[in-house]
Amino acid sequence: MQATTVLVEGESDRMAVETLALRLGHDLTAERVTVVPMGGATSIVHFLDHYGPDGAGHRLLGLCDAAESRGIARALARAGVGSGSLSELGFHVCHADLEDELIRCLGVEGVLDVIAAQGELASFRILQRQPSQRERPITAQLRRFLGGRSGNKVRYARLLIDALPAGHAPPPLDRLVSSF
């Protein structure tokens, strides 16, 4: 069985991929799948130097945010990975980012339920009352809340994946995990 390396932007993306894979019955160790957080999309060049186009005898997959997709595509083409669409190359693009995908998939009320279950709904309500947040849509407020505290994105990535109804996952994440 060929090894697979999945490049993701950060730790929260790694947590979401691994949590969904486990939930869908994947044994990443047995399937020789490694999810590698790059510390930001712009680091992909370093990782492509290491993993290269089949240089290490394995498949390369990935997940990125829409804003980073052009840079990822250019880096993949320069590294000789291919010049097709990102999805044809095994890289899946989140509409805005992973948190946006999870909020859209779970719904605002579902995300609020997860926040409430963590005892942090009052904290979210305080954030909503801040002058810089008052006029923003609730989805933007939720994204700010999820990314506002150190460790929140990683913790909530797992919690939000776990809260998804069976058979419902954000499309880019579902397509990525289904390709293992």
Task: Say what the pLDDT of residue 81 is.
Answer: 84
Q: pLDDT above 70 covers what percent of the chain? A: 96
* Separation between Cα atoms, residue 109 and residue 83, nearest integer Å: 40
Count the Cβ atoms, other than its own, within 10 Å of residue 65.
21
pLDDT in tens, 112-128: 999 999 999 999 999 99
* Domains within the chain, CATH numbers bracketed: 3-97+167-178 (3.40.1360), 98-163 (no CATH)
pLDDT in tens, 117-156: 999 999 999 999 999 999 999 999 999 999 988 889 999 9
If you average pLDDT over residues 25-47, what whole number do you get? 94
Q: What's the one-letter identity of residue 2?
A: Q
Instruction: Tell me how many helices (H) and strands (E) the chain has.
Output: 9, 4
pLDDT in tens, 93-117: 999 999 999 999 999 999 999 999 9
Pair 162, 18: CB distance under 8 Å: no
Task: Say what the pLDDT of residue 148 is.
Answer: 85
